[in-house]
Chain A
Amino acid sequence: MSQNHPVKFGRRSMLKVGAAGVGSLVSAPLLASPAAVDASIADLFDGRVAQSGRVTVKIPPITENGTSVAFRVDVDSPMTQEDHVLRIAVFAEENPVPDIAHYELGPRAGIASVESRIRMNGSQRIRAVAEMNDGSLWTGHAFSIVTLAACLL
């Protein structure tokens, strides 16, 4: 990923453009960090605390290109009407914006599993927080080393 521009400038433009539906961006700090992820989680889940467990994040231990990293999150849940995952929010600790994606599930999902491909701005931890229908929050994470391409342009 090219790093020849200051992250600050990029974020200011995003704040100007992205008002609708991305409220969390406005309040988040300028640079990515684990604290930025904590702030995003607090914002999204009204300050509730997530317990470690039930959530498994799967990303390759080493990634040769951070522009498209295979990602999977599984939440241990019976996915019944009485006990299911409402939503899963995924975060990156060193990306310019902490949020990667939010997924809304529900009992019709059958299993609480989502796979996608994400961008990673360097080696970092990816965190996922799952909200259950009883309001409880669970979290899991995984780390990937993102190597840099040689002939960067």
Chain B
Amino acid sequence: MLMIRIKAPVKATKGQVIELKAMIQHKMETGYRRDKYGRQIPRDILRRFECLYNEEVVFRAQFFPAVAANPILTFYTVATESGFLVFRWVDEAGVEAFDKVELEVV
């Protein structure tokens, strides 16, 4: 289970631009490092990130090996209606990790 940290407001006013932060525990192994025996450690990184607001994609990111380990993203979205924000990461093997927070919009 990958540890995820989300920072999002609990409540916002309609039309307000809110700041979202999402961090996930992941080595983001570049494929350039070698182990103590000199063998190349294969690349293993998260490839894609999506933020869905009531199931609509409001932000997307594609990651390359230069994204630092334990990747963190800060981005913004407009508070339109109450509902759920889903933060989803996918790695190269298609394995997903996600977290969900609730947002109240007044």
Contacts and interface: CB of A to CB of B under 8 A. Distances in A.
Interface of A: 2, 4-5, 7, 9-10, 13-14, 17-18, 20-22, 67-69, 92, 95-97, 99-106, 108-111, 113-120
Given A17-B42, A21-B48, A104-B61, 9 more contacts: A10-B31, A96-B32, A103-B60, A104-B57, A108-B53, A115-B75, A117-B67, A117-B72, A119-B65
30 contacts: A2-B33, A9-B40, A13-B42, A17-B42, A68-B68, A95-B66, A96-B32, A99-B64, A99-B66, A100-B64, A102-B62, A103-B61, A104-B59, A104-B60, A108-B58, A108-B77, A109-B59, A109-B75, A109-B76, A110-B17, A110-B18, A111-B17, A111-B76, A114-B75, A116-B71, A118-B66, A118-B68, A119-B66, A119-B67, A119-B68
A105 B68 contact: no
A101 B67 CA distance: 7
Contact of B69 (A7, A21, A68, A105): A68
A17 to B, nearest CB: 6
A67 B74 CA distance: 18
Contact of A105 (B18, B31, B59): B59
Contacts of A101: 61-64, 66-67
Interface of B: 17-18, 30-34, 40, 42-43, 47-48, 53, 56-69, 71-78, 80, 92
